[in-house]
Amino acid sequence: MCGIVGGVSKNNNIVPILINGLEKLEYRGYDSAGIAIINHNRIQRIRSVGRVSNIHKKISQKNLKGKTGIGHTRWATHGGVLEKNAHPHISNNEIVVVHNGIIENHAKLCDFLKNKNYIFKSETDTEVIAHLIHYFRKNKPSLLEAVHKTCKKLEGAYAIAVSNKNSNEIIVARNGCPLIIGVSEDQNFIASDISALISVTNNVIFLEDGDIAVIASDSYKIFDDNLNQINRKIYKSSVKENQMELGPYDHYMQKEIYEQPIAIADTIESIIDEGSINPKLIGGLKFDASKYESILILAAGTSYYAGLTAKYWFEHLAKVPVNVEIASEYRYRDAVTPKKQLIITISQSGETLDTLEALKQAKKNGNKNSLTICNVQESAIVRQSDYVFYTRAGVEIGVASTKAFTTQLVCLFVLSLIFAKQRKKITKKNELAYIEELRKLSGHIQTALNLEPQIKAWAKKFSRKSNALFLGRGIHYPIALEGALKLKEISYIHAEAYPAGELKHGPLALVDKDLPVVVIAPNDKLLEKVKSNMQEVKARGGELFVIADADSQFDAEAGIHVIRTNRHVGILSPIVHAIPVQLLAYHVAISKKTDVDKPRNLAKSVTVE
């Protein structure tokens, strides 16, 4: 949800570093981009709607150079996708600001500033920040003090980077949106995340809410929200530049789909010690599942569907009751909190504001312990949680989550085994059998990936459709939900998912010859029920696309297309069946020529409400 990058260098032109950083951050927002450079007491700004490549062209034309600068990729919240709304925003040719987040009281601040004769040139909430800093500087305090005073007036979530026309420093502040400092020799940087900086440094400091920092080429100073100087630890990031490269793939989503066997294997091995699951490997903390009587899972989007799948595992294996709730709904509900409930949040980015705020609300509601399943080191949700179970998916760039989802599922399955083990609901023999099955999972995923040519053929049929229906039952219903979300997200085809048994209670009315119906139909105990539901569709002329196991015993016939994964893998089957629905969405999007990695109106990290 908007990406920020900035830097101050003693000797180097900062412009190529900013452009490279913005390209890496584009997944956070891609409707417009801009940079501002401080040069000879002047702010030079270039902005453009569309992709970073558009400002790149303008920069070359203007031969823009400088040693201090800030840049931004935008995901519009306040104000349309217009150049005048693109960041950086400038006040009186003196103060320049980029911002990620939402200023909730911007209308009030805007009225105040208009009374002081400030003229607004954009429709954004960000412009008030630039003008307020300018206003507070009038009595000649330092830029740091003016930013500090401004922050005290802001309500909402923000990460900001600020400079002024005769400065070779950048001031940054964060409250609710991520911001890091990248430390290097004779040059220092700031960014929304490490991906923007890996070409220049892997020494990073994660700022915390309330922090304000002054960045110069040879120093950085961090202050708390009373302007007392503080220290923050420098971390060595393990993210490598080649992890961000496309390699032989056409799209990041395709690359990430194909990385799943390895990502899953890495995630499993991170928790297995001498052949057995070792809970101590979860964030290095002693985790005692036997003290919890229930679990509440909070998440959004695809991560929520991972939670829905996990409910079946926890209840089946560990006999622990689980509720799964959409984070943005839980926040505003008068939830009744049972004693001894563990909160589990699931988030690829660790930044999703809805999930972060739901976690905070859960703590206010009296829940004492929380565990997060997350893919990003030191992210906001990680810092707010007692226990962390990292998915080892590696950087996920495609906006539509794929490898993060399947590694989340692996973590959740392992966690349900830990619960079962510590609550004495599973024998050692069964634990070892599950570990054995887990270790075979990457092979099953590989076989599912080999279905690509058949799925490509299916995709051609979907690309002409306007609607699609996904059906699943039991533990595969969340995979139907995920399939529908993936399809609508990247191909813009309207798709709905239903538990197949619900069909007759309403959605059957939609079925006709133009409606493709995808059915997740593995050889589990509900297969016969699913087959009956399929007959209901077939009898009404619907076209069925069935994702079965090798042993599901279906035959393709007129109106029924069947593809098969490996043999049925029991309760791990949802992880295998996630692959065909990902590939289907990917290939439908390709045949519709949509922007697979950056679907319209979306962004990767959703740090606004």
- Continuous segment of H or E residues that includes residue 4: strand 3-9
Residue 455 amino acid letter: I
CA distance 447 to 145: 60
**Residue 303 binds to ligand F6R (criterion: CB under 6 A):** yes
User: Would you say 435 or 606 has its CB closer to ligand F6R?
Assistant: 606
**Residue 607 binds to ligand F6R (criterion: CB under 6 A):** no
**84 catalytically annotated:** no
Sorted by sequence, the CB contacts under 8 Å of residue 601 that are 6+ apart come out as: none
**Residue 192 binds to ligand F6R (criterion: CB under 6 A):** no
User: Around Cβ 569, how many Cβ atoms within 10 Å?
Assistant: 21
Q: Which of 96, 271, 371, 400 binds ligand F6R (CB under 6 A)?
A: 400
Residue corresponding to tokens 């890496």: 24
What is the size of the binding site for ligand F6R (CB under 6 A)?
14
CA–centroid distance for 448 within its chain: 24
User: Would you say 264 or 485 has its CB closer to ligand F6R?
Assistant: 485
User: Would you say 400 or 503 has its CB closer to ligand F6R?
Assistant: 400
Which of 6-14, 133-141, 294-302, 383-391 is the region at the interface with ligand F6R (rule: CB under 6 A)? 294-302
Torsion of CA 471, 474, 480, 482, to 10 degrees: 160
CA distance 91 to 89: 7
Which of 288-296, 343-351, 445-453, 464-472 is the region at the interface with ligand F6R (rule: CB under 6 A)? 343-351
User: Would you say 300 or 493 has its CB closer to ligand F6R?
Assistant: 300
**Residue 603 binds to ligand F6R (criterion: CB under 6 A):** no
Which of 16-24, 104-112, 298-306, 578-586 is the region at the interface with ligand F6R (rule: CB under 6 A)? 298-306
**Residue 349 binds to ligand F6R (criterion: CB under 6 A):** yes
**2 catalytically annotated:** yes
**Residue 302 binds to ligand F6R (criterion: CB under 6 A):** yes
**Residue 301 binds to ligand F6R (criterion: CB under 6 A):** yes
User: Around Cβ 119, how many Cβ atoms within 10 Å?
Assistant: 10
Q: Which of 127, 489, 549, 597 binds ligand F6R (CB under 6 A)?
A: 489
Structure tokens that stand for 484 in this block: 């529908």
**Residue 328 binds to ligand F6R (criterion: CB under 6 A):** no
**Residue 300 binds to ligand F6R (criterion: CB under 6 A):** yes
**Residue 495 binds to ligand F6R (criterion: CB under 6 A):** no
**Smallest gap from residue 249 Cβ to ligand F6R (A):** 18
**Residue 372 binds to ligand F6R (criterion: CB under 6 A):** no
According to DSSP, the residues that pair with 516 across neighbouring strands are 543
Q: In Å, how far are 270, 415, 479, 485 from 280, measured between CA atoms?
A: 11, 12, 30, 35
Residue 378 region by backbone torsions, left for phi larger than 0, else alpha for psi between -120 and 50, else beta: left
Q: In Å, how far are 85, 255, 434, 477, 484 from 480, measured between CA atoms?
A: 39, 22, 24, 5, 6
**Smallest gap from residue 397 Cβ to ligand F6R (A):** 11
Name the residue among 264, 241, 524, 559 with its Cα closest to residue 397: 241
CA distance 172 to 210: 11
Q: Residues 351 to 370: which contact ligand F6R by CB under 6 A? A: 352, 355
Which of 342-350, 361-369, 422-430, 545-553 is the region at the interface with ligand F6R (rule: CB under 6 A)? 342-350
Residue corresponding to tokens 């920092």: 213
Which of 64-72, 116-124, 300-308, 426-434 is the region at the interface with ligand F6R (rule: CB under 6 A)? 300-308
User: Would you say 352 or 566 has its CB closer to ligand F6R?
Assistant: 352
User: Would you say 345 or 533 has its CB closer to ligand F6R?
Assistant: 345
| DSSP letter for each residue of 279-343 | GGGSTTS---GGG-SEEEEEE-HHHHHHHHHHHHHIIIII---EEEEEHHHHTTS-----TTEEE
User: Would you say 388 or 606 has its CB closer to ligand F6R?
Assistant: 606
User: Are the beta carbons of 368 and 320 closer than 8 angstroms?
Assistant: no
User: Would you say 485 or 571 has its CB closer to ligand F6R?
Assistant: 485
One character per residue 202-241, x = contact with ligand F6R (rule: CB under 6 A): ----------------------------------------
Q: Which of 67, 255, 486, 604 is catalytic?
A: 604
**Smallest gap from residue 354 Cβ to ligand F6R (A):** 8
Residue 467 dihedral angles phi and psi, to the nearest 5°: -135, 155
User: Would you say 397 or 400 has its CB closer to ligand F6R?
Assistant: 400
**Residue 348 binds to ligand F6R (criterion: CB under 6 A):** yes
CA distance 543 to 220: 62
Mark 196-206 as b/e (b = at least 16 C-beta within 10 Å): bbbebbbbbbb
**Smallest gap from residue 124 Cβ to ligand F6R (A):** 23
Q: Which of 2, 110, 177, 374 is catalytic?
A: 2
User: Are the beta carbons of 476 and 578 closer than 8 angstroms?
Assistant: no
**Residue 401 binds to ligand F6R (criterion: CB under 6 A):** yes
Q: Which residues bind ligand F6R (CB under 6 A)?
A: 300-303, 347-349, 352, 355, 400-401, 485, 489, 606
Q: Which residues are catalytic?
A: 2, 604
